[in-house]
Amino acid sequence: MSFLLLATLFSIASPPPPEQTAFNYFATVLVARYYPTAKHLYFPGHSEPTASLAGPFAACFPGTGFDALWGEQPTSTGAPVPITTSGFPLFKRTGFLRRGGLQVRMYRAVAGPGGVYTNLYVYRAQHFVDHYLIKVSGSTPAVVEVCRASEII
């Protein structure tokens, strides 16, 4: 009985995965800053199964050793990480492309120098892609830095 109680307390006290921390920051801070007129953002409710740093991030986090990690392009595949979107009314869960809406996708996190990096991107098909690399502290579930790059497609 005490083992079950201890396991329950541990699961309550465990920090959220870095992908959830990055999503929460994106949904509360970055959406308000960069997408204030958005009516909906469509998100599948989980990360992609791939952990990847692919994107225009070479110049991000100068002087930290991140450029070497980015140059290696570490990737791995695993189970998608479920992301809780409740509490963020702008986000609508969908697994397919919604015409005319802002789409949000996220890769699984990659551990690197000084933290964990989560690659998240927002796009409107045939218009633009905004790439975000969100660095979460390795010791506490807090966002440390964000790198943003945009491109027109």
Q: For 38-72, write each residue's pLDDT tens digit.
A: 999 999 999 999 999 989 999 999 998 999 999 88
Tokens, residue 126: 């045939």
Name the β-bridge partners of 123. Answer: 103, 129
Strand 76-77 versus strand 102-106 pairing type? unpaired
pLDDT at 100: 67
Sign of the four-CA dihedral 46, 74, 59, 16: positive
pTM: 0.87
> pLDDT digit string (tens) for 117-128?
999 999 987 789
